[in-house]
Copies of this chain bind each other. A is one copy, B any other.
Amino acid sequence: MEKLRSFLKKYIPQSDVEDLIGSFHKVRKLKKRTYLLKPGQDCSFLAFVKKGTFRVFFYDGEGTEVTVWFSWEGMMIGDLLAFYKQSRAIFYVQAVEDAEISIVNGKELERQYASNPEYLEFGRRYAEHVSINVMERMLSLQTKSAEERYLELLANPGYMKNIPLKYIASYLGITDTSLSRIRKNIS
């Protein structure tokens, strides 16, 4: 639970987070390529990634897979859009490699918020953090070329190293063919 503790402490460093940690009680292991969520399912929970990598994706109007988000060890995963909208799952959430997660149910989380306003502050700060990340990705999509966006990804640690290029391509908003050509250009 050490990783979960330091994750939570990032948002509410002053608070005792033991009760909150305790509410992430359901543990699941997922084999590579299996699904944590599919569209239409109940997705009123958040999961903390203890091990592995996930991707969030859907099929667009033409039946093409679009990867919306990735999540690695030490981060949260789930269908956050649907979670915040309080709707059924919109996306697929799939393990990109063998993974292990701890889950907190949405109702349980609300109870934690109600019992301790410091946890409510966690909810707020986490949502703000999500806003920041999504805004920055949005800006990148709005203003940068596919090649620039790809270089941006590579600038990060080695996060992308086990991710198939076709997932990365759709995350960048381009086809795998185009990404392949961009890679050729760069090298």
Asked if A138 lies at the interface with its beta carbon under 8 angstroms from chain B, I say yes
- Tell yes or no: A132 within 8 A of B by CB: yes
Selected contact of A127 from candidates B68, B113, B131, B139, CB within 8 Å = B131
Q: A148-187 CB contact bits vs B (8 Å, 1 = yes)?
A: 0000000000000000000000010100000000000000
How large, as a class, is the contact surface on chain A? 20 to 34
Q: Does A135 belong to the interface (CB within 8 Å)? A: yes
Kindly list chain B residues whose C-beta atoms are within 8 Å of the C-beta of A134.
131, 134-135, 138
* CB-CB contacts below 8 Å: A64-90 with B: 66, 68, 80-81, 84-85
A interface residues with partner B (beta carbon < 8 Å): 60, 66, 68, 80-81, 84-85, 113, 117, 120-121, 123-124, 127-132, 134-139, 141-143, 171, 173
